[in-house]
Amino acid sequence: MIPLVDLKANYLPLAKEIAQGFERVCNDTAFILGADVKEFEKEYAAFIGAKHCIGVANGTDALELALRAAGLQPGDEVLVPTNSFIASALAVARAGGQVKLVDCDDDYLIDLESCAKAVTPRTKFIMPVHLFGQCAPMQKVADFAKAHALAVVEDAAQAQGAKQNNRAAGTFGIAAGTSFYPGKNLGAYGDGGAITTDDDAVAQKLRALRNYGSEVKYHHPETGFNSRLDTLQAVVLRAKLKHLSDYNAQRRAAAERYQALLKDVRGVGLPRTASGNEHIWHIYAVRVPKRDAVLHSLQAQKIGAGIHYPVPIHLQGAFKSLGHKAGDFPQAEAAANEMISLPMYPELTAAQAEQVVGALRKAL
Same domain, 79 and 183: yes
- Residue that is last in its domain, among 207, 241, 275: 241
Helices (H) and strands (E) in the chain, counts: 13, 12
pLDDT in tens, the chain (364 residues): 999 999 999 999 999 999 999 999 999 999 999 999 999 999 999 999 999 999 999 999 999 999 999 999 999 999 999 999 999 999 999 999 999 999 999 999 999 999 999 999 999 999 999 999 999 999 999 999 999 999 999 999 999 999 999 999 999 999 999 999 999 999 999 999 999 999 999 999 999 999 999 989 999 999 999 999 999 999 999 999 999 999 999 999 999 999 999 999 999 999 999 999 999 999 999 999 999 999 999 999 999 999 999 999 999 999 999 999 999 999 999 999 999 999 999 999 999 999 999 999 999 9
Same domain, 190 and 311: no
- CA 122 to chain centroid, in Å, comes to 26
What's the domain range around 196? Answer: 7-241
Same domain, 298 and 342: yes
Question: What are the tens digits of pLDDT across the range 60-112?
Answer: 999 999 999 999 999 999 999 999 999 999 999 999 999 999 999 999 999 99
303: left (phi over 0), alpha (psi -120 to 50) or beta: beta
- Residue that is last in its domain, among 241, 257, 272: 241
Distances (CA, A) of 361 to 308, 349, 356: 21, 18, 9
Same domain, 194 and 105: yes
Let me know if residue 85 belongs to a domain: yes
Same domain, 208 and 300: no
Q: What is the pTM of this model?
A: 0.97
- Nearest residue to 95 (alpha-carbon basis) of 206, 251, 236: 206
Let me know if residue 1 belongs to a domain: no
Instruction: Answer whether 345's CB lies under 8 Å from 251's CB.
Output: yes
Half-sphere exposure of 287 (CA within 13 A, CB side): 15
Distances (CA, A) of 204 to 66, 207, 311: 12, 5, 37
Q: What is the rounded distance in angstroms from the CA atom of residue 43 to the CA atom of residue 174? A: 20
